[in-house]
Copies of this chain bind each other. A is one copy, B any other.
Amino acid sequence: MFYYLNKALKLNKLDALFIDSPQNIFYLTGYKGFSAEEKDAKILITKKRNYLFTDKRYLGELTNLKNFELTEISLFKEILQKNKIKNAGFEESSITFSEYKYFKKIFTNFKPLENPIEKLREIKNQEEIKKIRKACRLSDLGFSFILKQIKENVTENELAAKLEIFLKENHADISFKPIVAFGKNSAVPHHLNSNIKLKKGNIVLIDIGAKIDGYCSDMTRTVFFGSPTLKFKRMYQTVLSAQKVAVEVINKSRLKIKASDVDKAAREYIIQQGYETIPHSLGHGIGIDVHEKPNLSPNSKSILKNGMIFSIEPGIYLNGYGGVRIEDLYLLTNKKLEKITHSTSKIISL
């Protein structure tokens, strides 16, 4: 990792890489205690040494850092002078304009870079894969658990709260607030849970993610409360087949697998069946962030590679009626997909 970053320094003729995204700081240091809102740490990767700058409040906590010299933030300029660091690259998608204004004055040359660390994060190592598998296992258990809580008049908010409590009781965090959508709410891909009550004949869409040791899972299932209508069954089978189409595109590919081609195959399948196109990307990478690279979308430039973990989540949404989304996570190894979420994809009626 540091070898690659040093190469990036040489390539860009930089003395240092300036990292301030909390997720990337966690990725590089393993410490997840910094606040995402307050950006209370900065990293400087130089050719010789790596520094983690933060304030007094954290110094007592971070005594066992590998690969980094822990330094109080007030010494930032001093360290630059001592090491003759004048040209630095920064993360253009993380730094705010006001931080940019401040640090631009400190360096002779302060150069925007496009996701220098996110590119590394796309490919997961064995330890990361293990953590994501654990998070997937827990969302599977969470799904089984919540199925038992689905009954008439329960509200979306109640089910979502129960899911959160279940994850917490199992020593995990949420990777995002669970989405529980009943009936026509399931046609809104980013529905905000409400106090609407479940009625017979409602679709129930559940999108859940656990976070374990800083790594996320993400899975969606759509079930039917009552006896599934033909309309629902047809939507469901179409979505499920679209997912299979996407998986096959990858498994049968012998050349470079373009993420946009995978998106296209599933999208076109759904349109061929007479539905509207998917109003979101087909899938996304996952890891420290619940949405990260690669992107499986029409305009994606990503090439899918071994070691990547991403979702495939086609959906059909009929405004005013309801929606179906089926989302699983897959690990790409030896050019084949391994599904790492294991909840059944058969139609469930309750």
- A residues touching B (Cβ–Cβ < 8 Å)? 31-33, 35, 37-38, 56-58, 60-61, 90, 92-98, 100-101, 112, 114, 157, 161, 164-165, 168-169, 171, 176, 187-192, 279-280, 289-291, 319
Contact present for A56 and B279 (CB under 8 Å): yes
The docked-state distance in angstroms from the alpha carbon of A192 to that of B97 is 29
Given A92-B98, A95-B96, A161-B171, 20 additional A-B pairs, CB 8 A: A31-B192, A33-B190, A33-B192, A35-B176, A37-B289, A37-B291, A38-B291, A56-B279, A57-B190, A58-B188, A58-B190, A60-B188, A61-B191, A92-B96, A92-B101, A96-B96, A98-B112, A161-B169, A164-B168, A165-B168
Chain B nearest CB from A178 CB (Å) reads 11
A-B contact pairs, 10 of them (CB 8 A): A32-B192, A33-B190, A37-B291, A61-B191, A90-B97, A92-B101, A95-B97, A98-B114, A100-B100, A161-B169
Contact present for A280 and B100 (CB under 8 Å): no
The docked-state distance in angstroms from the alpha carbon of A165 to that of B93 is 34
Counted per complex, copies of this chain come to: 2
Q: Which residues of B contact A98 (CB under 8 A)?
A: 92-93, 112, 114
The docked-state distance in angstroms from the alpha carbon of A319 to that of B168 is 31
Contact present for B112 and A61 (CB under 8 Å): no
Chain B nearest CB from A324 CB (Å) reads 15
Closest-by-CB residue of B relative to A176 is: B35
Q: Which residues of B contact A188 (CB under 8 A)?
A: 57-58, 60-61
The docked-state distance in angstroms from the alpha carbon of A33 to that of B165 is 20
Q: Which residues of B contact A57 (CB under 8 A)?
A: 188-190, 279-280
Q: A97-B100, A279-B56, A291-B37 are in contact. Are A171 and B157 (CB under 8 A)?
A: yes
The docked-state distance in angstroms from the alpha carbon of A168 to that of B280 is 30
The docked-state distance in angstroms from the alpha carbon of A92 to that of B92 is 14
Closest-by-CB residue of B relative to A320 is: B60
Chain B nearest CB from A219 CB (Å) reads 18
